Chain A
Amino acid sequence: MLLGKKWERSKSEKQKPKDKQNKEIMLVTYGFVVLFLAMLGHFIYFAAANKEEMLNNSYNGRQALLAAQNTRGTIYSRDKEVLAETITTEDGTELRQYPYGNLFSHAVGYSTKGKTGIESLANYYLIQCNLPFVDKVKYETSGSKNPGDSVITTLDTQIQQVIDREMGIYKGAAIVMKPDTGEILAIVSKPDYNPNEIVTIWEDLLANEDSSVLLNRATQGLYPPGSTFKIISALEYMRENPETYHNFQFQCKGSYTMEDNTIRCYHGTNHGSVDFTKAFAKSCNASFANIGMQLDREKFADTLDTLLFNKELPVNLNYKQSSLLMSDEISNEDMIQSSIGQGKTQMTPIHLCMITSAIANDGILMKPYIIDRVETDKNVIVKQFQPETYGTFMSVEEASALKMLMQEVVESGTATKLSGQGYTAAGKTGSAEYNQNADSHAWFTGFAPADNPQVAVTIIIEGAGSGGDYAVPIARRIFDAYFEQAPF
């Protein structure tokens, strides 16, 4: 513009020869200015968009700078119970304390030997202090550090305690979330540890590789999904046969043989003549092996893609990707194994819980989140996190058909231990075999109330036996605890 004006003037001022000379210089000038502005745009965007990620990088010395100015903030549960806080002793040393001991070890994590869980996720907020300047000056003149901002999580101490008590000495994991918002209410992984003693037990934890105490099984544990995977096989069968899936009929003789491979029903049970609903409710392996053989493997691979198998999950805790083989090339054996959730298929509990939540929420997945808001020491909100939609996993019709199937599991199938409550639950059990001796992990994934789901639960108990016997009762306690606090 500025140049433009001058250029016009000089054009009128003098005639031809000079004009041509100026045009090239002007083009170069404009070119450079555009280049500069692009660089400026990049610079501003980078500085603004990556603030959190940059500060969290362990190579960034500014974390230490902030730690010298502010005391690490407090982590609260949704009911404002302290989950982690920093105590400054008289001689000025700071201690990070976890009043609940082992209970939140995997959810909240630790912050001294590296950082995990919420301690890592919320680190950016915990080390900052957004108090008004006047308050900061008061702290500084009195010679003490500023109190860091605190983080209020979505975690519910009641539910967390119920799960912890019910799981007892078993290894395993449980995750509870709200399907309509994505709030994570509880996240338990066993075995656990006492984060208050992390410094002293650290060497032992590292030395003992088999126990994998530090692994958060709820997000990082990869397990065969077993029969819970039939939810997905059923979805695909309905997708491929929208008009005719009701007419499915199968004569179960306790096993299904394909070429040299035989699939047996759990404990060899003979289910007799079953339709689609009953095959699902009774978790009939033979029927689902048969269904698997009828599925189009290419299309199934597409469905699994949408459900985020072999893909990144919209989760900001440390997690592992679920893995599965599905394509035109896989053998019939792999196909029938996959359709009942055995073989090479591996899933994390959080992934299964997300699929379950999507079914409960009319096919739409809400992004799971665990930090509700950030507040200053004076309870002024610094940042409020909002529920976010991730995307559509399935149509409303498909979700409601799956709901019906899962409700029947509770009414007349493998999860009858959940029936007859004040609420109607829906779900699917699984007994996933993990070795040659047919030992199995007990699974349950489901939600309640079936007609207006408020809470979704996924549980795995390692090596316990059948899902119906070991996982379902825990789910019942969780639902009980939830509806006791929040009657529907």
Chain B
Amino acid sequence: MQHYVLEISKYIITLFMALYTYECFAVFRFDNEERRRGIYIRQNIFMFCFHFMCYLDICIKTNKIEYLFFFAFQQIALFATITLYSMIYPRSNKLIVNNMCMLLSVGFVILTRLSFEKSVKQFLIVVLSIVIAMIIPQIIRKLMILKQITWIYAGIGIVTLGIVLVMGAVTNGSKLSFSLWGVTFQPSEFIKIVYVFFVAGILKEAEDFKTIVVSAIAAGIHVIILVLSRDLGSALIFFVTYVMMLYIATKKPVYLLVAAGCAAIASVVAYHMFSHIQVRVQAWKDPWSVIDDAGYQIAQSLFAISSGGMFGLGIYGGTPRDIPYVETDFVFSAIAEELGLLFCICLIMLYISCFIMFMNIAMRVKDKFYQMVAFGLGVTYGFQIFLTVGGGTKFIPLTGVTLPLISYGGSSVMATLIMFAVIEGIYCIRQVGGKSVVRKKMGTQQERKTETQR
């Protein structure tokens, strides 16, 4: 009996994921949240079913009933998040909230399978983060000072990253984290957000060349500190975010070319200067020749990806723990192995839909500062997914960044939840702002149109 349940659940899990992902794109058919309500409710049902099936598998496989309690706590937390968001912020964008919860539940499932202890830790941090994130939209709405403290953002960013560079703890040759009162942080995750606020603040009325040069220098300092800390992934994210935001602010494609040129020169210089970059590139070009050493991680990741098949080997069916740092850098490969290729395709599509929604929000914000913030955070988020999934699948060299909301890592998940909350806040501003009159008119027109079509 158990065997059949486990086998059939593989297909059911994939099915619910596919249905959920379909609804993610179905959302874009409608223009206002009212009409999307049905979709959101279906998404919540699919999410619950997916989550339940996964934990059913986990309980059958491990024979431990406490996992069911853990599941119950997670469900309560996710349900509370969804309800509280719509109660406190009735005008919030539910797709973002739903996707956030869906990604968190995928994360809980795979982390529980990989390490129960880490999963519990992650869960507690997530609960704390959600509580913090609840007040953020309100802060964004009310605190007008956020637009004016441009240089304070830069100061916080550079000083914090500098402290990590000087005093940070070394993990695998990189200085990423540092401890305060017994809690270990990875500050670059939080500075990402502050940095986006800084770049948005300085470039919001970037008409003269002088401001651009100043902004480039400040952004450059961030990037250089990160390169020196050997946090290559973050350095790339900071760089790309700045370049994209500069392009949006100035609307001059020439800056993209200049940046591409700079990036090319910088990568050649960095390649010759730092041996660890050469090692990474070597491991990317041909992991098999250095499989005992630098190529081991990526090789194990590729083994995992290629062994899952369409529907995966089932939760606990594979050996994803063979991959070093699987919970942080290679969680996508673990998902590919046990939940399958189709699930992974849906997952990436889900990320894409979330990214498109961010960009959509950015496009519609009237206020230049908030538009740039929403856009910058969207790019940060999108590029991070590209780095981690691309790195784990040997599409690009490995940089060692986390998969947003799924990977293990307190700083990462908290920062991402804050990021989502900031965008949610900006969305609310848009809804409240002067545009609402026009939008209402459009909304009714839209309704009339769809009705006549029917």
Chain A positions 108-140 with a Cβ under 8 Å from a chain B Cβ: 133, 136-137, 140
Task: Give the distance to chain A from B329, nearest Cβ to Cβ, in Å.
Answer: 16
| A39: contacting residue among B309, B319, B393, B442, CB under 8 A | B393
Task: Give the distance to chain B from A141, nearest Cβ to Cβ, in Å.
Answer: 8
Q: Chain A, interface size: which category?
A: 35 or more
Chain B positions 350-375 with a Cβ under 8 Å from a chain A Cβ: 351-352, 355-356, 359-360, 362-364, 366, 371, 375
Q: Any chain A CB within 8 A of the CB of B127?
A: no
| B3: contacting residue among A14, A65, A137, CB under 8 A | A137
Pick the interface stretch among A49-57, A220-228, A298-306.
Answer: A49-57
When the two chains form their complex, are residues B356 and A50 in contact, meaning their CB atoms are under 8 A apart?
A: no
Q: Any chain A CB within 8 A of the CB of B416?
A: no
When the two chains form their complex, are residues A57 and B319 in contact, meaning their CB atoms are under 8 A apart?
A: no
Q: Any chain A CB within 8 A of the CB of B344?
A: yes
When the two chains form their complex, are residues B393 and A140 in contact, meaning their CB atoms are under 8 A apart?
A: no
When the two chains form their complex, are residues A54 and B306 in contact, meaning their CB atoms are under 8 A apart?
A: yes
When the two chains form their complex, are residues B247 and A55 in contact, meaning their CB atoms are under 8 A apart?
A: no
When the two chains form their complex, are residues B363 and A22 in contact, meaning their CB atoms are under 8 A apart?
A: yes
- Chain B CB count within 10 A is highest, among A26, A28, A44, for A28
Query: What are the residues of chain B within 8 A of A248 when measuring CB–CB?
Result: none
| Contact status of A10 and B364, CB under 8 A, knowing A25-B248, A54-B307, A137-B3 | yes
Q: Any chain B CB within 8 A of the CB of A258?
A: no
| Contact status of A2 and B395, CB under 8 A, knowing A36-B348, A43-B305, A59-B291 | no
Q: Any chain A CB within 8 A of the CB of B345?
A: yes
Q: Any chain A CB within 8 A of the CB of B164?
A: no
When the two chains form their complex, are residues A65 and B393 in contact, meaning their CB atoms are under 8 A apart?
A: no
Q: Any chain A CB within 8 A of the CB of B286?
A: no
Q: Any chain B CB within 8 A of the CB of A16?
A: no
Q: Any chain A CB within 8 A of the CB of B400?
A: no
- Chain A CB count within 10 A is highest, among B4, B291, B306, B360, for B306
Compute how far the CA of A60 lies from the CA of B248 in the bound complex, rounded to whole angstroms: 46
Q: Any chain B CB within 8 A of the CB of A20?
A: yes
Q: Any chain A CB within 8 A of the CB of B303?
A: yes
| A46: contacting residue among B251, B322, B393, B442, CB under 8 A | B393
| Contact status of A42 and B395, CB under 8 A, knowing A55-B306, A65-B319, A137-B4 | yes
Query: What are the residues of chain A within 8 A of B393 when measuring CB–CB?
Result: 39, 42-43, 46
When the two chains form their complex, are residues A2 and B25 in contact, meaning their CB atoms are under 8 A apart?
A: yes
Q: Any chain B CB within 8 A of the CB of A206?
A: no
Query: What are the residues of chain A within 8 A of B300 when measuring CB–CB?
Result: 59-60
Query: What are the residues of chain A within 8 A of B383 when measuring CB–CB?
Result: 32
Compute how far the CA of A47 lies from the CA of B322 in the bound complex, rounded to whole angstroms: 18
| Contact status of A32 and B307, CB under 8 A, knowing A39-B389, A42-B393, A46-B393 | no
Compute how far the CA of A21 lies from the CA of B359 in the bound complex, rounded to whole angstroms: 12
Compute how far the CA of A65 lies from the CA of B322 in the bound complex, rounded to whole angstroms: 12
* A137-180 Cβ-contact flags toward B at 8 Å (1 or 0): 10011000000000000000000000000000000000000000
Query: What are the residues of chain B within 8 A of A46 when measuring CB–CB?
Result: 302, 305-306, 393-394
In the complex formed, the residue of B with least CB distance to A62 is B307
Query: What are the residues of chain B within 8 A of A62 when measuring CB–CB?
Result: 303, 307, 318-319
When the two chains form their complex, are residues B302 and A10 in contact, meaning their CB atoms are under 8 A apart?
A: no
Query: What are the residues of chain B within 8 A of A40 when measuring CB–CB?
Result: 345, 348
In the complex formed, the residue of A with least CB distance to B364 is A10
Compute how far the CA of A13 lies from the CA of B385 in the bound complex, rounded to whole angstroms: 33
Q: Any chain B CB within 8 A of the CB of A3?
A: yes
Compute how far the CA of A18 lies from the CA of B305 in the bound complex, rounded to whole angstroms: 44
* B291-329 Cβ-contact flags toward A at 8 Å (1 or 0): 100001001101101111100000000110010000000
In the complex formed, the residue of A with least CB distance to B332 is A43
Compute how far the CA of A57 lies from the CA of B288 in the bound complex, rounded to whole angstroms: 9
When the two chains form their complex, are residues A25 and B322 in contact, meaning their CB atoms are under 8 A apart?
A: no
Chain A positions 1-34 with a Cβ under 8 Å from a chain B Cβ: 2-3, 6-7, 9-10, 13-14, 18, 20-26, 28-29, 32-33
When the two chains form their complex, are residues B319 and A61 in contact, meaning their CB atoms are under 8 A apart?
A: yes
| B360: contacting residue among A3, A51, A140, CB under 8 A | A3
When the two chains form their complex, are residues B306 and A47 in contact, meaning their CB atoms are under 8 A apart?
A: yes
When the two chains form their complex, are residues B386 and A33 in contact, meaning their CB atoms are under 8 A apart?
A: no
Q: Any chain B CB within 8 A of the CB of A35?
A: yes
| A51: contacting residue among B247, B307, B375, B438, CB under 8 A | B307
Compute how far the CA of A10 lies from the CA of B363 in the bound complex, rounded to whole angstroms: 10
When the two chains form their complex, are residues A55 and B307 in contact, meaning their CB atoms are under 8 A apart?
A: yes
Query: What are the residues of chain A within 8 A of B344 when measuring CB–CB?
Result: 43
Q: Any chain A CB within 8 A of the CB of B161?
A: no
In the complex formed, the residue of A with least CB distance to B306 is A54
When the two chains form their complex, are residues A2 and B305 in contact, meaning their CB atoms are under 8 A apart?
A: no
When the two chains form their complex, are residues B296 and A59 in contact, meaning their CB atoms are under 8 A apart?
A: yes
| Contact status of A24 and B251, CB under 8 A, knowing A32-B355, A36-B352, A42-B393 | yes
Compute how far the CA of A59 lies from the CA of B290 in the bound complex, rounded to whole angstroms: 12
When the two chains form their complex, are residues A29 and B3 in contact, meaning their CB atoms are under 8 A apart?
A: no
Q: Any chain A CB within 8 A of the CB of B106?
A: no
Q: Any chain A CB within 8 A of the CB of B111?
A: no
Q: Any chain A CB within 8 A of the CB of B244?
A: yes
When the two chains form their complex, are residues B251 and A20 in contact, meaning their CB atoms are under 8 A apart?
A: yes
When the two chains form their complex, are residues A25 and B363 in contact, meaning their CB atoms are under 8 A apart?
A: yes
Task: Give the distance to chain A from B362, nearest Cβ to Cβ, in Å.
Answer: 6
| Contact status of A59 and B299, CB under 8 A, knowing A39-B393, A46-B305, A54-B307 | yes
When the two chains form their complex, are residues B303 and A36 in contact, meaning their CB atoms are under 8 A apart?
A: no
Task: Give the distance to chain A from B89, nearest Cβ to Cβ, in Å.
Answer: 22
Query: What are the residues of chain B within 8 A of A28 when measuring CB–CB?
Result: 244, 247-248, 359, 375, 379
Task: Give the distance to chain A from B27, nearest Cβ to Cβ, in Å.
Answer: 9
Compute how far the CA of A57 lies from the CA of B296 in the bound complex, rounded to whole angstroms: 12
Query: What are the residues of chain A within 8 A of B390 when measuring CB–CB?
Result: 39
Task: Give the distance to chain B from A476, nearest Cβ to Cβ, in Å.
Answer: 46
When the two chains form their complex, are residues A39 and B352 in contact, meaning their CB atoms are under 8 A apart?
A: no
Chain B positions 335-351 with a Cβ under 8 Å from a chain A Cβ: 336, 341, 344-345, 348, 351
Task: Give the distance to chain B from A349, nearest Cβ to Cβ, in Å.
Answer: 30
* B195-230 Cβ-contact flags toward A at 8 Å (1 or 0): 000000000000000000000000000000000000
Compute how far the CA of A36 lies from the CA of B25 in the bound complex, rounded to whole angstroms: 16
Chain A positions 379-432 with a Cβ under 8 Å from a chain B Cβ: none
In the complex formed, the residue of A with least CB distance to B358 is A29
Compute how far the CA of A140 lies from the CA of B3 in the bound complex, rounded to whole angstroms: 9
Task: Give the distance to chain B from A56, nearest Cβ to Cβ, in Å.
Answer: 10
Compute how far the CA of A9 lies from the CA of B303 in the bound complex, rounded to whole angstroms: 47
Compute how far the CA of A20 lies from the CA of B253 in the bound complex, rounded to whole angstroms: 13
When the two chains form their complex, are residues B302 and A26 in contact, meaning their CB atoms are under 8 A apart?
A: no
Task: Give the distance to chain A from B220, nearest Cβ to Cβ, in Å.
Answer: 21
When the two chains form their complex, are residues A51 and B348 in contact, meaning their CB atoms are under 8 A apart?
A: no
| Contact status of A36 and B386, CB under 8 A, knowing A59-B299, A137-B4 | yes
Compute how far the CA of A55 lies from the CA of B304 in the bound complex, rounded to whole angstroms: 9
The list of the 10 closest CB pairs from A to B, nearest first, reads A54-B306, A2-B28, A29-B359, A60-B303, A137-B3, A43-B393, A42-B395, A61-B322, A22-B363, A32-B382
Interface residues of B (CB under 8 A from A): 3-4, 7, 25, 28-29, 31, 244, 247-248, 251, 288, 291, 296, 299-300, 302-303, 305-309, 318-319, 322, 336, 341, 344-345, 348, 351-352, 355-356, 359-360, 362-364, 366, 371, 375, 379, 382-383, 385-386, 389-390, 393-395, 438, 442
For this complex, 15 residue pairs linking A to B, each with C-beta atoms less than 8 Å apart, are A6-B363, A20-B251, A21-B371, A24-B247, A26-B363, A32-B382, A33-B352, A33-B355, A39-B386, A42-B393, A43-B389, A44-B341, A50-B302, A51-B309, A61-B319
Q: A6-B28, A62-B303 provided; 11 other pairs, C-beta below 8 A?
A: A6-B363, A13-B438, A24-B251, A25-B375, A32-B386, A46-B302, A47-B305, A50-B306, A60-B300, A60-B303, A61-B322
Interface residues of A (CB under 8 A from B): 2-3, 6-7, 9-10, 13-14, 18, 20-26, 28-29, 32-33, 35-36, 38-40, 42-44, 46-48, 50-51, 54-55, 57, 59-62, 65, 133, 136-137, 140-141
